[in-house]
Chain A
Amino acid sequence: MKFNKRRDKMYIVFGAILVLLVFFNQLGWLNPVKSGLRNIFAPIFIKSSGISVKVGEGYEFFKNKDGFFIAYNECRNQIESSAVESSKIYLLQEENDNLRATLNFKEKTKIIPIVSRVVGKNIEQTDQALIIDTGAKDGVAKDMPVIVGDGILIGKIIKVENDMSIVRLINDSQSKIAGAILNTDKSLGVVEGGYGLSVKMNFIPRNENIQVGDAIVTSGLETGITRGLLIGTVTAIENETYRPFQSAVLTPGTDLDKLTLVSVLRTE
């Protein structure tokens, strides 16, 4: 067996440098260098992410023009019907506020959204994760929920640096979120990702009734994640007789490939 002593030495030197750098990183000595390098390369990330979103949208349009217009008309119809629903919700909200005021009900928690820009995706496609431009200095902490729009959950914070954070998306294979279905049984389960290919809600008791189109929201049983954030809607149900639980395949509430602006929810 041949061993190249000079080359082996090189690997040892690199290994030693790496150990030292990891140690310095733990002490926080590398933070200024890391921030500087991130600031240099962040514009490239943002640019490529922007191109990705634009290309994706253009491709979708040209791939199926008819389907695009059908979806557009469906959206218009949905907007009309949601306008009616929102007026009902407004009345209910008003009624609820009055009742709360009568009962002298006080909110125990206060939720503060930290608006963040999506810098790009994780550099290696092993995890379905996003890099955002807010970090510990903005008040972001691990396990905080990340939403888009008025309250569509897209994932959780898994890594926080001083000036940036990483969000694990709900379609990642390591993602697990306590969810509840808005059906008559108020079914509970765990929403799990499938390596970017699908999102499933597992561990739903078999005797509970689920319908395609039911909305799935966060159950609030998980620390730090408030109840009622929309995760998605049920598109298929898997209920095999030999399994103790049924599962529901769901479509996320938003397209997870086209995110540009998100909010991290900080609970106080």
Chain B
Amino acid sequence: MKAKTILLVISRILFMTILFIIQIFISNLLPVPFNKINVILLAMMAALVFSIAKDFLPYLFGLSLLTELFHVTPFGFMTASLLVSMFILEWLLVNVLTNRFFMIVFIAGIIGVFSYRLFYIILSYFWRAIAEGSFVINSAALLGFGQEIIMNASALTLIYIAASLFLRKLNPRYVINDY
């Protein structure tokens, strides 16, 4: 049992490392607007939508901290924004958006990314106002945030649709239950 747990932890850490490498390649290789996809945020939202956050949240928290090392803003801003947005999204998924129709998942994605970016902007505003003396949100920046929201919400919906189409068919547990 212990060996199984250790293997599970190692496999999850490996999975997180792969996610991080994917994020590096997305930000460096993909053209606009595809480079706006945030794999870590997407993984967190997917964990909440599939109700497996309990198992993955600690790893994703670690992954977010790792991402902080290669980020413009001071250490902690990104993870703090991520935690707040995930808390809001989880509350919404439990109390309001209880249906798992794909449009609901899309809306959940929009709310998740929007709240993440909003909290990030608030933190950045205070930091830049103090440290740099100015913080500008112009139309170009808003366009970028819009692209990010749409890209990530669409990716989450696509993952959800793909998972609901194939996971059930490929998982032998369902076959055993059906017969």
Chain A residues within 8 Å of B, Cβ to Cβ:
1-4, 7-8, 10-11, 14-15, 17-18, 21-22, 25, 30, 34, 37-38, 41, 44-45, 48-49, 51-52, 55, 120-127, 129, 131, 158-159, 166, 168, 173-174, 176, 194-197
B1 at the interface (CB under 8 A from A): no
Q: A194-B140, A195-B141, A195-B143 are in contact. Are A21 and B29 (CB under 8 A)?
A: no
Contact check, B72 vs A158: say whether CB atoms are below 8 A apart.
yes
List 14 other contacts, CB 8 Å, given A37-B69, A125-B27, A131-B70.
Answer: A7-B53, A8-B87, A10-B54, A15-B80, A21-B65, A34-B69, A41-B20, A120-B28, A123-B71, A124-B38, A124-B72, A168-B72, A174-B128, A176-B134
Can you give 19 contacting A-B residue pairs, CB < 8 Å? Answer: A2-B94, A10-B57, A11-B87, A30-B75, A34-B69, A41-B20, A41-B69, A45-B28, A48-B24, A52-B29, A122-B72, A123-B27, A123-B71, A125-B32, A126-B144, A126-B148, A173-B141, A174-B136, A195-B138
Q: Do the beta carbons of B70 and A122 come within 8 Å of each other?
A: yes
Query: Is B25 in contact with A48, judged by CB distance below 8 angstroms?
Result: yes
User: CB-CB < 8 A to A121: which residues of B?
Assistant: 27-28
A159 to B68, CA, bound (A): 12
Choose one: B75, B95, B128; the contact of A2 (CB below 8 Å): B95
Closest 8 CB pairs of A and B: A195-B140, A22-B76, A48-B28, A123-B70, A194-B140, A173-B141, A25-B75, A125-B35
Are B76 and A25 within 8 A (Cβ)?
yes
Produce 1/0 per residue, B25-57, CB < 8 A to A. Answer: 101110010011010000000000000011001
Whole-angstrom CA separation of A45 from B70 in the bound complex: 10
Q: Complex formed: what's the CA distance from A180 to B169 in Å?
A: 65
Q: Return the CB mask of B70-93 against A: 1 if under 8 Å, else 0.
A: 111011101110010011001100
Give the complex CA separation of A49 and B83 in angstroms. Answer: 29
Set of chain B residues within 8 Å of A38, measured between Cβ atoms: 69-70
Which residues of chain A are near B72, meaning CB under 8 Å? 122, 124, 126-127, 129, 158-159, 166, 168
| Contact flag A125-B25 (CB < 8 Å), given A131-B70, A174-B135 | no
**Which A residues lie within 8 Å of B138 (CB)?**
173, 194-195
- Nearest CB of chain B from residue A105's CB, rounded to whole Å: 35
Report how many residues on chain B are interfacial, defined by Cβ distance under 8 Å: 49
Provide the bound-state CA to CA distance between A242 and B35, in Å: 38
CB distance from A143 to the nearest CB of B (A): 9
The residue from B21, B71, B90 contacting A7, defined by CB atoms under 8 A apart: B90
Interface-central residue, B86, B135, B144, by most chain A CB under 10 Å: B144
Tell me the bound Cα distance from A47 to B3 in angstroms: 35
A8 neighbours in B (Cβ, 8 Å): 87
Min C-beta distance of B92 to chain A, whole Å? 11
* Nearest CB of chain A from residue B107's CB, rounded to whole Å: 19
Given contacts A34-B69, A197-B140, contact A44 B83 (CB under 8 A): no
Chain A residue nearest to B140 (CB atoms) is A195
Alpha-carbon separation in the docked complex, A123 to B135 (Å): 20
* CB closest chain-B residue, reference A45: B24
The proximity string for B residues 5-33 relative to A, scoring 1 for CB distances below 8 Å and 0 otherwise, is 00000000000000011011101110010
A122 proximity list for chain B (CB < 8 A): 27, 70-72
Q: How far is the CB of B19 from chain A (nearest CB, A)?
A: 12
Q: A121-B28, A173-B140 given as contacts; is B54 within 8 A of A21 (CB)?
A: no
- The reply to whether the CB of B67 lies closer than 8 angstroms to some CB of chain A is yes
Does any Cβ of A come within 8 Å of B61's Cβ? yes
**B57 to chain A: which residues have CB within 8 Å?**
10, 14
B66 close to A37 (CB less than 8 A): yes
